[in-house]
Amino acid sequence: MKNSWRIFIIIELLMLLFVLYKVVNETQALIFLIFGVINIVFALKRQRRSSFNLFQLIMGAVVVMMSLLTSGPVIWFMLVFAILFFGLVGVETSGLSVLEHLDLVPWKDKQMINVESVEPELKNGKRFKRQLFGNQRIGSTVYEWDDINLSVFSGDTIIDLGNTILPKEDNVIIIRKGFGRTRIIVPMGVGVMVEHATVSGKLVFDEQSYAMKNEAIKIFSHDYDENVRRVKIVTNTLLGDVEVVRI
């Protein structure tokens, strides 16, 4: 994920330099660009904002954008590339597939799913690092289950339990987070207990939404005592929503 962001920023900066080069070499576009920048600077320097300052700021932004758009097709490539990149990153982060929700997909009527497995690993003394910032997804591929204990400062987190097999016992997920959204995907047939504490945020569980401000809540699924496989989710956040999704 980090490498893809670096590549995206480098490509966008290179295309932006080429756009500025084109603008500098075209007198009319350069005049409009300077005019727009001057209006934006004067509007932002005003301590007391008025309707004229707002108009000046909007007009300056429009003039700058128009001067860049008339510099050639490179700026359009920048916009298209940015839209495609953010779209693909959003799909990758959320783990959703657009084709899965289409009823007209020809191969959806007869679909074969192969269940994969992984070799068990030694758990005693196992050490690993978790990223402190940014979005992360656990469970995008098949993995052996082990209790999860996360500490994250900021970013969105997705934990998918659909690609693992939970043991017939109580399984634990502990998440401590400063800022960001947390989404936990739990397969049907698994009992769930959620204990959530937050300064400000929302908990979504079993199609119920709980708005919370400096509160803690503990909820059990209706089939918690009946199921052999159960998962206990304990989350602590400063600002951010927590969502438990059953699939």
pLDDT along the chain (247 residues), means of 10: 70 81 77 84 76 81 79 75 72 47 45 49 65 77 84 89 86 92 91 93 91 93 90 93 91
| pLDDT value of position 203 | 94
Query: Tell me, what's the pLDDT at 212?
Result: 92
Predicted pLDDT of residue 204: 94
pLDDT the model gives residue 42: 81
> Is 182 contained in some domain?
yes
33, 36, 41, 46: CA torsion to nearest 10: 170
Phi, psi of 162 (to 5 degrees): -75, -15
Q: Are residues 169 and 81 both part of a single domain?
A: no
The residue whose two tokens read 């995206």 is 8
201 is written with which tokens? 């945020």
Q: Which of 50, 69, 94 is the last residue of a domain?
A: 94
- Within a domain: residue 116? no
Q: Is 173 helix (H, G, I), strand (E, B) or coil?
A: strand
Q: How far apart are CA 181 and CA 204, in angstroms?
A: 11
If asked whether residues 238 and 140 sit together in one domain, one would say: yes
Q: Cα–Cα distance between 146 and 128 in angstroms, integer?
A: 12
pLDDT of residue 196: 94
**Per-residue pLDDT at 237:** 92
Distances in Å between the alpha carbon of 186 and those of 118, 169, 208?
20, 15, 16
pTM of the model: 0.52
Q: Range of 66's domain?
A: 2-94
Considering 70, 94, 118, which residue would you say is the last residue of a domain? 94
How many residues does this entry show for the chain? Answer: 247
Angle between helices 27-45 and 2-24 (to 10 degrees): 120
Residues 6+ apart with CB under 8 A from 29: 22, 23, 67, 68, 70, 71
Q: How far apart are CA 224 and CA 167, in angstroms?
A: 15
Q: Where a domain ends, among 94, 111, 138?
A: 94
Q: Which helix (H) or strand (E) holds 117?
A: none
pLDDT at 32: 80
**Cα atoms in the 13 Å half-sphere on the side-chain side of 72:** 13
User: How many other C-beta atoms are found inside a 10 Å radius of the C-beta of residue 211?
Assistant: 10
Nearest to 150 by CA among 241, 245, 236: 236
Q: What is the pLDDT of residue 174?
A: 94
- The answer to whether residue 100 is domain-embedded is no
Same domain, 78 and 143: no
- Number of domain units in the chain: 2
Assigned domain for 120 exists? no
Q: Does residue 125 lie within any of the structural domains?
A: no
Give per-residue pLDDT as tens, 113-141: 444 555 555 666 666 677 777 778 887 77
Q: Is residue 101 in some structural domain?
A: no
